[in-house]
Amino acid sequence: MPKSEQEIRDIVAKNIADFRKSAGLTQSELAEKINYSDKSVSKWERGEGLPDVYVLSQIAEICSVQPGDFFLEEPKKLKSTVKRVSTKVRLVITALAVGLVLLFATILYLVLSLVGLPAHFLGLAFYCAIPVSAIVLIVFTAIWFKHIWSFSAITLLIWSVAFGLWFYIKAQGILYIFAVAAALELLVILWYLLLWFRSRDKKAQN
């Protein structure tokens, strides 16, 4: 006997909630990944609406299941291998990663000083740690934190590289590097504005 619309909604609702929890995600975290509001995810999990096929495919990919699994009354049980990491733990892990970069820079500084390089070159060991730390921050903020933190890390990378080239390369026309940095910064700002507008529009529609 064919199922009613409400029965299908209830099955999909239960599976969305189960798959989300197995992936170690909160409603807010899942909503952010698909650029929807957490209210939309909550509505789907209560059976008060159905996401479209494209959104279901996105959720399926995030939760490592097949889109058709959402419509099964007894889908294959997923082993929850991903445990939710608290914000404090995420911050500590990120800080440890940056700390390792600084430790490596310190060791490199000591090795270079033993070799007898001039102080001008010794400073490179520490200065290079700034853009490398920025790259580490970009990776971790993209995975765990909101767009504003990724934006800040990218900004740090752009300007630390620009100032480093200006300080260590005394070539004619090197000041133009700041024009390049400003252009890159503008592109980054426009990109994150685009993401913000798209996210806001989707939340308004739902």
5-71 has which fold?
Answer: 434 Repressor (Amino-terminal Domain) (1.10.260)
One digit per residue, the tens of pLDDT, for the chain of length 206 reads 557 777 888 888 899 998 888 888 888 888 888 888 888 888 888 888 888 888 888 898 888 888 888 888 876 655 444 455 567 788 888 889 989 988 888 888 888 788 877 766 667 777 888 899 999 988 888 877 777 888 889 999 999 888 888 877 776 667 888 999 999 999 999 988 887 787 776 666 55
Entry pTM: 0.58
Amino acid at 150: S
- CA dist., res. 191 & res. 23, Å (int): 28
The three-point CA angle 129-133-134 to 5° equals 120
Q: What is the pLDDT of residue 186?
A: 95
Q: Which two tokens stand for residue 62?
A: 């995030």
CA-to-CA separations, 127 to 85, 98, 155, 169, in angstroms, rounded: 32, 14, 16, 14
What are the extents of the domains in the chain?
5-71, 87-205
Q: What is the pLDDT of residue 190?
A: 92
Q: Are 128 and 104 in contact (CB under 8 A)?
A: no
CA-to-CA separations, 182 to 159, 188, 196, 202, in angstroms, rounded: 9, 10, 21, 30
Q: What is the pLDDT of residue 77?
A: 58
DSSP state of 74: S
- CA dist., res. 33 & res. 27, Å (int): 10
